[in-house]
Amino acid sequence: MTDKDFNHLKLGESDLDKLFDAARDTLPIMDPDFLDQLQIQAFEAMPITRQINSGNSNIKIFKWISTVIPQFGGLHASISLVLIAAIGVIIGFNPPDLVLDFTTIYFDTETLIELAGINNETQIYWEDF
Partner 1 sequence: MSFDVSQNQDNAELLALFAKGNRLSTISLTSRLAPIIFSQAFHMLNNRADAEDVTQEALLQLWKIAPKWDPNRAQITTWLYRVTSNLCIDRFRKSKRVSSEEMPEVIDKTPDVDQKMQFMARSKALYAGLKILPDRQRQAIVLRHLEELSNPDISEIMEISIEAVESLIARGKRSLVSTLVPQKKALGLNDD
Binding site for partner 1 (CB under 8 A): 7-11, 15-20, 22-31, 34-35, 37-39, 41-43, 45-49
Please say which residue, 2 or 26, places its beta carbon nearer to partner 1: 26
Please say which residue, 28 or 92, places its beta carbon nearer to partner 1: 28
Q: Are 12 and 6 in contact (CB under 8 A)?
A: no
Please say which residue, 24 or 124, places its beta carbon nearer to partner 1: 24
Q: 117 phi and psi, to 5 degrees?
A: 85, 10
> Helices then strands (H, E): number in the chain?
6, 0
Closest separation in Å from C-beta 52 to partner 1? 9
Please give the DSSP secondary-structure letter assigned to residue 119: T
Q: Tell me the residue type at 30.
A: M
Closest separation in Å from C-beta 2 to partner 1? 16
Entry field: residues in the chain: 129
Q: Tell me the residue type at 27.
A: L
Please say which residue, 25 or 127, places its beta carbon nearer to partner 1: 25
Closest separation in Å from C-beta 53 to partner 1? 13
